Each structure stands twice: as C-alpha cells, then as structure tokens.
Amino acid sequence: MTKMNLELTYEEVKNKIDNYITNPEDLALIDKAFKYVYEFHEGEKRLTGDDYIQHPLNVAYILASINADTATICAGFLHDVMEEDDSNKEELLDIFGEVIVNIVEGVTKINKLNFDGDKKAVIESHRKILVGLSEDVRVIIVKLADRLHNMRTLWVLPPKSQKEKANETLDILVPIASRLGMNTFKSELEDLCLRYSKPDTYFYIVEKLNQTKNERNLEVNKMIEAVSLLLDKEGIEYKIKGRAKSIYSIYKKLDKGKSFNDIYDLLALRVYVNTEHECYQVLGLIHSKFKPMPKRFKDYIAMPKTNMYQSLHTTVFGVDEHIFEIQIRTYEMDQIAEHGIASHWSYKEHGSTKADLQNAMEQKLQFFRSLIEIKNDNSNDEEFVKTVQNEVLKENVYVFTPRGDVIELPIGSTPIDFAYRVHSGVGDKMVGAIVNGSIVPLDYVLQNNDVVKINTNKNSLGPSKEWINMAFTSQAKSKIKSFFNRTQKEDYVKLGEEVLIKEVKKRKIPMADFFTSENISKILNEFKYKDEEELYVNLGNNKIPVGTVVNVLYNDNASKEDLILKRVINGEVEEVNSKDDIIVEGIDRIKVNVASCCKPIPGDEIVGYITKGHGITIHRAMCPNIMNNEERIINVHWNNITTKKYPALLLVHAMENKNLLLDIIARSSNSDITIQSINAINSSDNFMYELTVLINNVESLKKFMNELDSISSIINVERIIK
Ligand code: MN
C-alpha cells in the first residue's frame, strides 16, 4: 500500500507558532530545537518513506494547534532524540535546560518500552503515563500528539500491529485525553482506532455518511437559516455551524443496537455566542420556535462536566420534521470543550509555567485527585494501573451534591464512596444517606443524576468495618481501613505509654530520671525505632516486653519478666503440686515452690519471688527474707479451691512438759491437723517446742493455735519464720 503524504515544512509550523508566541528568546529556542532534531535525524527515513523529520514537525504542529507553550513545543520537536544510553543528556540540558529535558525524558521513558504482548511492559508503560500526569501533564500532552501523528500514519504497519496499537490507544490514551477534556485529540484518536481495530465497521459508516451527505447538508443548511432568522431578529451576535458527528460516536450508537437511520442526531449544529446570558437567550428562542424533545435538554453551563466541559444541549423537532441536536456555547466554553486542560494555554498571558497547568489540573479535574490518591495508596504497579483503569478511566456515573456540584464516581459506587470522595471527614462521620429525598441503605448503587445527601453526626465513632465490602472504590476502602489502623494505633500508643510508666514505677526508678530525651533516644537507637510513637505502638501491642526496654538503661537488674520469659523460653517449666493452688499473675506454666522459711499456707498474704533458675518461690508477704528484693517480686494469690495441706511452723512456750505432747496431739486430731514433727528446744527457764503441722488454711491454723493456748501449761504459741 502506498500513500501520498503531504510534506510539512518548518515554515508552516513556525507560522502556526508565530500566531501566539512572540517573545524572541522563546522563538530562538524553538529554532534551536528544530535545528537539533533536524541534524539528529538527518538522512533517516520513516517506514512511510518520509524523511524522519516529518514526524517531529507534525508533532510540533499538532502542539502548536492547541497553543502549547514554548517548553512543550520544544519537547515536541525533541521527543525522539534522547539516546538510549542518555549519552546526549548533558548536551541537551546545556542547550535546552531542565524543564524541556524532563518532558523529553518522560516521553522517552514511556516510548522506550516494548509492547509486543509483554504484559509487564504494558503495565509499566501505563504506570509511567499515569505517574507522568501527576508530575508534569505536558509529558502526556506531548505523548498524545506523538501518538496522534503515529496513528495518522498507522497504515504503514502490518494489520496485527495496527490492531495492537489501536487497542492500546483506546485503553489508555483515549480515556486520558477525555479526562483532560482534550476532545479534538480524543475524537480523532477514536476514529483512527476504529479504522484499524474494526475496519469493516469503520468503512461501512464512512460509506453511509457519504451516501447521505448531500441530503444531510441540505437539511442542516435549512435549519441554520431558520435559526439565524430567529437570532437576527433579537440582534444577537452569533456564529452557527453544521456539526459533523464523529464516526466513532456513530459506531457507539450502532453498537448499542440502533440502526443507521435511527440516529437522529446525525443532524447537528452548534451556536456560538459571546456571553453565558446569550446562551440561555438563544436556547429560549430556539425552544419557542421548535418543540424540544423531552428529556434531551442538558444544562452543562450551570453544571459543568467533571472535565470542565460547558454547553447547553437540546434536541428539537426542526425544519421538515427532522430531529436536530443543538449545542449552544460561548467561544471561551468552546476552547475548553475542544482542548480541555490545554485551553489553559490560550487564556494565560505569555509565560505560563508548569505549575500553572499542573495547578489548573489539580483544581479543575476531579479525576486528577482520584489519580493522586490511588497513586499514594497502591505500591504495586499492576494494582495501581488496574485501579486507575477501572475506577478513573472507565465510564462513570455522575451524581450531585445537594448544592448541585457534580461528583464523578465509577459505576457500582455507593453512598459510602460518595461520602469519602467528598471528604474523608464526611465518610468517617457518616450515619446515613438520602438519595433524591429518600433514605437509602448504604449499599445502594448510585445512578446517574442522583442527588445524594450524606447525614453525618459529629459524635459518630467512625465507619463500620462492613463498609469496606459495601464500598466500590479502592479510595473509600483504603480510607476506611486507614481509619481503623489509625484508631488502633492511637490505642496502642496510649497502652504502650502506660505499660512503660508502670514498669518504671515498679522498679522504683524516679520518673524524671528515666524519661529524659537522652534516655529515650538511647532506647530508640537500641530498637532502631524512628520515634517514640513507634516505641509505644510496639510496647502497646506486645511486640517487645517492657522489661527489655527498661533494661536498655537499667540493665544490672534483669527484670522479672525477662527471667520468667527466659524460663518459659528455655523450657524449664515443670508442674509442681502447688501449681494448681497458686495463681501467678500473667504466667501460665512455671515452676512454683513454697518457701521453707515462712511456710505460707492458704489464706496467708503471699508474693512470688523469682529465683535464679528455680522458677517462683512463694513467700508470705511479710517474710523478711525477701525484703529489699522488690524487683524480683511478682503478684501471686491462692486459688480459692485449694484442698491440700501445707506445712506451718509453730513455736510453743510451756511451763512444764507434763503430758504436754499428748495434749498437743489430742488437739491436733480434733482439728484435722497432721503433726509432721515436734522438736524440743532446750532453754534454761521454760520448755519450748518447735512444731511443724500440715494444715488447710489460716483459719484452721488460728483455731488450732487458740486450742493450744487454752492448754493450761502453755504460755504462748506463735507462728515463726526461720
Ligand atoms: Mn515519536
């Protein structure tokens, strides 16, 4: 296949640029860019047979037609000159500066990737395109111009490659052009994509349009005449044009099952006026003469589309009973309708900066905010690209706030998505939703034109976990999840602080000594934590034992938790008899012994003492042997249901020993007490016996001691500690 190509000259491009760029320095830089690219590609041919320079010339021309700024025009010329190994980057930086080279580099990175069926490369390239948008939208504008020219010359590639290129363009670049409001780019790209992805359909529509062309022109001209007559009478300054529907938009309607003859808005015209007020005036005049079709009127002036598009749309029964679709807009609205974000260049005095355009995008395009949020949420390329494609670039529903602002959401979204799109504060405090005046469940699927009111309550404790499943957008889901992470984190921080303070108090370390900034940074260093918050979170959720934290500074006294932990970890745990009777706070399986010095029995106030290597020994709280060893003391208490007998040590003073031992034994058998041993202790003045008895509890012991006391020869009975 051969094709005649119109050769574009630098002069033609320059003329286009001269229309709006006048600064001599800018023009000189553009000359330099052309000279550089001309020499760079000299002698090279494109597959089309053209000199290679035709490609950058065309790309620059396309960019000049949307009044692109100097940096963008230069980048358009230079977008294919960056060497694979960056060897000429320094040179480019020297001549053109960082801004231009950054755009060139951005486009180069996207173009470098090989698309031949490699899914990973496709995802990577899509991610670069999307991230490029958030860094400098001019990268994407140059990319769109580059693709537009390549699509115009796509005939040169084999059919398989044509289809691949066309599908890729439809998947990602067309939706981006649409979101940026760049409708002239979008419309031409769509038509070209259809031509190569579905040539049969494309040429069928072209043929049909040609067949009906004269007839349609006749009808459109009659209608233009009739409308002009109306407007002339009112003295309105206007322009009116017949409007060709794009082939792709006709294809979409055919695809929905309509037949070619059903497509009434093939007859279309557009009226341009100077002011917004005149738009409504013109609409009124047209409706006064031609009956509007019900439900086909749309006021995109009062409620602009989310890509900034503004116009009035109506469909009327026109001359000869033909149906006409009419758009009414101001010239300024037309610029925005055609070029979207790029129209910013036309309305900016000379010297617009990257920040201006980027700022306009952030302010004016809702999709951009979604893009940024999704970018921040997803670390994984594939997820990011998938989410953007499904939730940002696909067809959406348009719903309204009670004030009439349009909110754009993916199809399938619920009031939860709406609330979180408006503001995460609204989502977090949401208690209900009202759609078109009626209360709806929170999993209600939003429909086009729904008016959505979110009821909030400032006392609401926050979203419910179920909402994660009810929400459709990844933004809402991740905002709900982050609410829970946040509140959980706050709880952990609080708990962590408490745990540490308690431990410091328990170890009798003065708080002021412990909590110095020097000490805290020592601890943070030790655990490689970045701040105190991280330390407290880890303490609060039990990731590190509090003892080890204090030990960083007070290491000589290993804490009891450490010792116990060591026990448990080393497997030195062994069940002993007393284990079931004594509950050691916080520890389940540990060896427990009863101290032989103070011999505690059930009912005694007791404490646990952490021994070196032998688990815990239970002492009576008043036992002098454990005093001044507080750091090794652990809370323990008796199990209420103990039935075992424990030894107690008594010292009996008596005046004489006549029948004394018999008396003692007799009393013990009355009281269900076993006497384990009786030792006589010699003393000069009186008789003393050391008595070890096995006994159930303190109460029984007291009773027994009273009974002994009632023996006339006994002076005194006391419980002793050795
Ligand atoms: Mn290129």
Just give the CATH number of 646-719.
Answer: 3.30.70.260
CA of 390 to the centre of ligand 1 (A): 28
Which tokens hold the place of 288?
Answer: 């006064």
CA of 4 to the centre of ligand 1 (A): 20
- Spatial neighbors of 594 by CB under 8 A, at least 6 apart, are 578, 600, 617, 618, 646, 647
CA of 146 to the centre of ligand 1 (A): 5
**What angle is formed at CA 464 by the lines to CA 463 and CA 467, rounded to 5 degrees?**
95
Mean pLDDT of all residues in 610-621: 79
Q: Delimit the CATH 3.30.70.260 region(s) of the chain.
A: 646-719
What digits encode the pLDDT tens for the residues 490-544? 888 888 888 898 888 888 888 888 888 888 888 888 888 888 888 888 888 777 7
What pLDDT, on a 0 to 100 scale, did the predictor assign at position 588? 62
Mean pLDDT of all residues in 650-656: 82
User: Quick one: pLDDT band at residue 571, thresholds 50, 70, 90?
Assistant: very low
CA of 142 to the centre of ligand 1 (A): 9
**Fold (CATH) for 201-346:** Beta Polymerase; domain 2 (3.30.460)
Q: Delimit the CATH 3.30.460.10 region(s) of the chain.
A: 201-346
pLDDT at 459 over 90: no
CA of 17 to the centre of ligand 1 (A): 20
pLDDT at 569 over 50: no
CA of 12 to the centre of ligand 1 (A): 19
What pLDDT, on a 0 to 100 scale, did the predictor assign at position 419? 95
Of 55-64, 180-189, 654-663, the one with minimum mean pLDDT is: 654-663
Say what percent of the chain tops pLDDT 90: 35
CA of 348 to the centre of ligand 1 (A): 27
Cα 294 to the center of its chain, rounded Å: 42
> Mapping DSSP to helix (H, G, I), strand (E, B) and coil, where does residue 180 land?
coil
Indicate the average pLDDT of the chain: 84
pLDDT at 378 over 70: no
Architecture of the domain made up of 10-197? Orthogonal Bundle (1.10)
User: Quick one: pLDDT band at residue 705, thresholds 50, 70, 90?
Assistant: confident
**What angle is formed at CA 229 by the lines to CA 224 and CA 234, rounded to 5 degrees?**
125
CA of 178 to the centre of ligand 1 (A): 21
CA–CA distance, 496 with 87 (Å, rounded to integer) = 55
Is the sign of the CA dihedral 83, 88, 90, 94 positive or negative?
negative
CA of 11 to the centre of ligand 1 (A): 20
Q: Delimit the CATH 1.10.3210.10 region(s) of the chain.
A: 10-197
* Element containing residue 111 per DSSP (H, E): helix 89-112
Q: Starting at the earlier edge strand, list the strands of the sheet with 646-654.
A: 674-681, 687-695, 646-654, 714-719
CA of 35 to the centre of ligand 1 (A): 17
CA of 201 to the centre of ligand 1 (A): 28
Of 16-25, 139-148, 363-372, the one with minimum mean pLDDT is: 363-372
CA–CA distance, 82 with 99 (Å, rounded to integer) = 14
What pLDDT, on a 0 to 100 scale, did the predictor assign at position 416? 96
CA–CA distance, 427 with 454 (Å, rounded to integer) = 9
CA of 277 to the centre of ligand 1 (A): 44
pLDDT at 2 over 50: no
What digits encode the pLDDT tens for the residues 176-203? 899 888 999 999 999 999 999 999 999 9
The residue type found at 2 is T
CA of 79 to the centre of ligand 1 (A): 6
Regarding predicted confidence, which is higher, 563 or 190?
190
CA of 437 to the centre of ligand 1 (A): 53
CA of 267 to the centre of ligand 1 (A): 37
The residue type found at 567 is R
> Mapping DSSP to helix (H, G, I), strand (E, B) and coil, where does residue 402 land?
coil
